[in-house]
Amino acid sequence: MMETLEQHIADLRNADFRVRTQALAAIVAAGRRAAPVLVAALPTADPASKVALARGLSEIAEPATADTFAALLDDGDEVVRACGAVGLARVGDPRACAALIATIDDFPDLLRDPYTPSADTLIELGPPTLALVVPLLDAPSAMTRARAFAVIHDIVAALPEGADWSSLWQGLGRYAADAPVEHRRAAARSWGDWIARHFPGT
């Protein structure tokens, strides 16, 4: 099995996209026993292979690789960083939320703008992430602000408190990521106060 995994890792460098895709699928299918082999391959991996290795580790989500996920957060490739943050969340590491916030702009989904892997994972984690996302409503980048509000929308709208989303949004100041700064900041404060009241201690 180990030789097979190493061959699959070697295939991640293949020029044929289909070979690379099949190799990654086989690595993920091998499950947790593949994790040490992936970790060992990371230091000498070329950039494309490193992305695939990081994705494989993130899919496998072996708790023993938590420190490897944390190390990926400093990588120069945004996909690798996103995999590191999502991997930390999948293994339940306490560093996950901070990592997801830090990488919320990494690897945007061009078909689902403004979503990213970290934004999606923050949504999956639910209400405990709301208070962490609120400060990003006043981030320097409009895209960061849009992603933060998408997280808030998707979490809150799925809860009883957000069943009438349109009325809630209007009542809290009609927040928009591209609104004039004073209007935007006033609405962001309203959302922060509302979240603090409805989800204390999160």
Low-confidence ranges of the chain (pLDDT < 50): none
Looking at residue 13, its pLDDT comes to 86
Looking at residue 3, its pLDDT comes to 55
To which residue do tokens 């400093």 refer?
Answer: 74
pTM for this one? 0.93
88, 90, 180 from 185: Cα distances, Å: 31, 33, 9
| Residues in CB range of 99: below 8 A, 6 or more apart | 69, 70, 73, 84, 85, 88, 89, 118
How is residue 90 written in tokens?
């999948």
How is residue 95 written in tokens?
């560093």
pLDDT of 103-133, one tens digit each? Answer: 999 999 999 999 999 999 999 999 999 999 9
Residue 6 near residue 13, CB atoms below 8 Å: no
Looking at residue 4, its pLDDT comes to 86
Residue 172 near residue 197, CB atoms below 8 Å: no
